[in-house]
Structure 1
């Protein structure tokens, strides 16, 4: 009996401290496993959606955006899920038959119903923003403009989504939202990096937007937009030139060449051998040129291509006014513009035209770009058609003009030099999403970009690693202590002398 009692006294497992160590060890193991499981468990991802219709001057496009539902205003980024180009012209072309404007959207809206999960239909916001084409129609005939919007709204209200309205964007909004899109997709806003300027070229207008250290808005408040995004303040310079999209600019150049009402013009902006009969009324039916129509002009004129880049550039320069500037510096038409700063992303028609001409590589010297374009313009029209049989003749015929106009707009209009031209990157998409104003517009209306920097997560990665490390060390110590009965008891063994 005394021997058993002596064994219990010598066995540490029967001591209260051993029980405490065991309990602490079990609790630590459970806590460690729980933290690891909760931190690393795969969560079923839920998404929200938004739809924006870009009603441009030449066509309408639908964009579907998707973002993690639990990260609306934090770390989740909205990305383009799908796009659909509406068949037919822009909605402003349906002024005389407004119902057709609404009907034209039907096919793309049906696609949207397939792409957005049915359970999300009712909560998915749907927006339509109209740009320069509708701005011109509204200037020319506000009654017709209102009729088109009523037809479009009627069609969109029948969709199963949460329709938020249709309206005309101002040129300033179009430029600013394009800038937001480019920098948001590139994660420059969240990380507080140097921002990228935005160059947008449509059919009826063009926009330039960028941040300049020299611009505080005081010299031209109408060109200033202030943002506070992710805890950073931005004072953006932006301007939209109505009538200076590539389609309306072509009208301006034709108006310049037909001021005397001729029956024939030799146009340096079209390939040699090109010939087409143009109707005077069709050229001058836009508010951009309607007040310039020559008196007593014939019904039509013949346009023959000459294919001379340098002469075309001189013709294009005539659509800009460089003689008047009441500010310290201007771009053109008396519009203030600060010194260019930083990299620029050029999208929409900038990309499509320069990509067709294989001139998107801005590491090529500007003079070489001009030489390549001059060579293209001088190529006979018959050869151009033979090389591009799948391109519609209307678009194919205009590439010499469009390329020349883009280079002239950038260098003569916006003051890009041979050195700063390399700061431009012609882009179509950024990380899978189309560059343009639509994403920035949706982000603004859904308040998805916080004014202040997002809060840190409750358990950041460093904290998680620290907790796991401490618990692992504690368990190791407890394990070593639990092996105490096996420790050699050298001090208690008799020594042999």
Structure 2
């Protein structure tokens, strides 16, 4: 029986296809293997760090991870977990010191689950206390010391490498927040922010940081003008091979919680009765306050004058304009000893560049849904919110805690006063602010900056040794790439061989 025409040609070419196919698959596998093995990090070389942010109202625990091979002596740190400690901040345990440390156990137990057991002994743990503890230290230094001692005892009981618990200065808090923000946005190390993603900030260089807590507020940025005459406001950092000189200042007692107390104190001064009306609270809202809270608080004690009543009754009237006027009175804008000031005779150079506002700045603007709105729209939203009744607001936001919900009118108005009139973010400059909660899955705040700075003091493990030298890696990548291209071309030529080159089957 005759064979079909062309069968001899197929038999003659089949081995070629098989050989070329094997070589092509091998070349592709080799190319992928060289690329992956060269850049795949070893999990053994990851380091971990734990930072506890002991704020005035609550404590958060952050867990960070970075590769042992550091870049320019600073670890490439990323946040991998966060845990909110139940209860108040550690300063809230002033009258119950014994429970300050145990309050952290739930989150520290969680840290044992997140950090690999073999890394426990090499994982540093730091606790940084902020404005709440700064105020407690001013009020009662021995109590503040006892609270920190109790916290240290609990943290030492865990198998991690406890490095200390201390009270940060306001300037440190502001500067570390600046580091966090610029790190996450890729301004300290360009490779952090992928080039194909749009940037949140268009201008080159670093951006300023605006932080608002419960007891203090901070502003930090790189000034354009010479500030050599005000060196006490300047801090220097060396990160990723560069040195940064930034202006930073912290205003203790001007966090949103303490600022509210300052305003209430002003209301009490002009009243002879135990009942006052406050335009910063919504209509129909009522609150009582023990006068001891004003007489013993370091932020209000100096200006407090004893009254005949011990309990203060506050009734809300809900009026933005009157609230703004009352807030203006808590700032002192006179007596600037230098060329330019913010308030309370504190030097501040002219604003430069763009700014990121986080913590309570973000939470308040996010609640009002105005994080991306111009100043006029923010004020419009505030006026509308402050004019609502307390009953309506409670019905509209049933899941928000009463303490926060009742203070949003005040907090939003305070943000306008602080940023607009004290920091000089005018309507034109308001667009330079971006309100940020998280950037690249990491919280904006001082803790990551603290961790980044501390990695300069942590000895690196043995660096991860790549299987190939740089030259050898490049050569193999080129060889395998050329092989893939050549084999594809040869296979195509054989398959589509011109008729003039084919032998007629007999």
Q: TM-score range by the shorter chain?
A: 0.7 to 0.9
TM-score (structure 2 length as normaliser)? 0.81
Find out whether 1:440 has 2:436 as its counterpart. Answer: no
Partner SS for 2:43:
coil
Find out whether 1:237 has 2:247 as its counterpart. Answer: yes
Q: Structure 2: which 5+ residue stretches go unaligned? A: 1-25, 192-203, 460-465, 487-506
Find out whether 1:210 has 2:206 as its counterpart. Answer: no
C-alpha distance in structure 2 between counterparts of 1:75 and 1:227, whole Å: 12
What's the counterpart of residue 298 of structure 1?
309
What's the counterpart of residue 36 of structure 2?
40
Question: Map of 1:399-418 to 2, 5 A cutoff?
Answer: 399-418=408-427
- 8 Å CA contact retained: 1:204, 1:247: yes
TM-superposition CA deviations, 1:192-250 (whole Å, max 9, x none): 94111110111100000011211x43131111012232233321010000000000000
- Judge which range, 280-289 or 436-445, deviates more: 280-289
What's the counterpart of residue 224 of structure 1?
234
Question: Map of 1:5-16 to 2, 5 A cutoff?
Answer: none
What's the counterpart of residue 318 of structure 1?
329
- Residue 196 and residue 458 in structure 1: after superposition, are their counterparts in 2 closer, same or farther (change >3 A)? farther
Question: Map of 1:324-363 to 2, 5 A cutoff?
Answer: 324-361=335-372
What's the counterpart of residue 3 of structure 1?
none
TM-superposition CA deviations, 1:90-141 (whole Å, max 9, x none): 1111112211100111111111111111111111000000011111111111
- 8 Å CA contact retained: 1:73, 1:449: no
What's the counterpart of residue 381 of structure 1?
390
- Residue 449 and residue 309 in structure 1: after superposition, are their counterparts in 2 closer, same or farther (change >3 A)? farther
C-alpha distance in structure 1 between counterparts of 2:473 and 2:234, whole Å: 44
- Residue 34 and residue 420 in structure 1: after superposition, are their counterparts in 2 closer, same or farther (change >3 A)? same
Partner SS for 1:408:
helix
Find out whether 1:196 has 2:192 as its counterpart. Answer: no
What's the counterpart of residue 264 of structure 1?
275
What's the counterpart of residue 60 of structure 2?
61
Question: Map of 1:45-194 to 2, 5 A cutoff?
Answer: 45-46=43-44, 47-71=46-70, 77-191=76-190, 193-194=204-205
C-alpha distance in structure 2 between counterparts of 1:225 and 1:128, whole Å: 22
- Residue 459 and residue 423 in structure 1: after superposition, are their counterparts in 2 closer, same or farther (change >3 A)? farther
- Residue 366 and residue 471 in structure 1: after superposition, are their counterparts in 2 closer, same or farther (change >3 A)? closer
Which of 435, 438, 454 is residue 429 of structure 1 equivalent to? Answer: 438
- 8 Å CA contact retained: 1:273, 1:304: yes
- Residue 100 and residue 459 in structure 1: after superposition, are their counterparts in 2 closer, same or farther (change >3 A)? same
C-alpha distance in structure 1 between counterparts of 2:121 and 2:482, whole Å: 52
Partner SS for 1:104:
helix
- Residue 98 and residue 463 in structure 1: after superposition, are their counterparts in 2 closer, same or farther (change >3 A)? same
Shift of 1:264: 1.6
- 8 Å CA contact retained: 1:259, 1:292: no
- Judge which range, 352-361 or 72-81, deviates more: 72-81
- Residue 36 and residue 243 in structure 1: after superposition, are their counterparts in 2 closer, same or farther (change >3 A)? same
C-alpha distance in structure 2 between counterparts of 1:346 and 1:162, whole Å: 33
What's the counterpart of residue 494 of structure 2?
none
- Residue 246 and residue 212 in structure 1: after superposition, are their counterparts in 2 closer, same or farther (change >3 A)? same
- Residue 471 and residue 94 in structure 1: after superposition, are their counterparts in 2 closer, same or farther (change >3 A)? closer
C-alpha distance in structure 1 between counterparts of 2:147 and 2:426, whole Å: 42
TM-score (structure 1 length as normaliser)? 0.82
C-alpha distance in structure 1 between counterparts of 2:57 and 2:412, whole Å: 18
Partner SS for 1:333:
coil
Q: Structure 1: which 5+ residue stretches go unaligned? A: 1-29, 451-456, 478-497
Max Rg structure: 1
C-alpha distance in structure 1 between counterparts of 2:79 and 2:473, whole Å: 33
- 8 Å CA contact retained: 1:217, 1:235: no
C-alpha distance in structure 2 between counterparts of 1:372 and 1:448, whole Å: 47
- 8 Å CA contact retained: 2:91, 2:133: yes
C-alpha distance in structure 2 between counterparts of 1:449 and 1:418, whole Å: 45
- Judge which range, 273-282 or 102-111, deviates more: 273-282
TM-superposition CA deviations, 1:356-385 (whole Å, max 9, x none): 111211xx2211210110110000111011
Shift of 1:303: 0.8
C-alpha distance in structure 2 between counterparts of 1:406 and 1:234, whole Å: 28
Partner SS for 1:105:
helix
- 8 Å CA contact retained: 2:27, 2:481: no
C-alpha distance in structure 2 between counterparts of 1:101 and 1:109, whole Å: 13
- Judge which range, 126-135 or 293-302, deviates more: 293-302
What's the counterpart of residue 249 of structure 1?
259
C-alpha distance in structure 2 between counterparts of 1:475 and 1:59, whole Å: 59
Shift of 1:476: 11
What value does the CA root-mean-square deviation take over the aligned residues?
Answer: 2.8
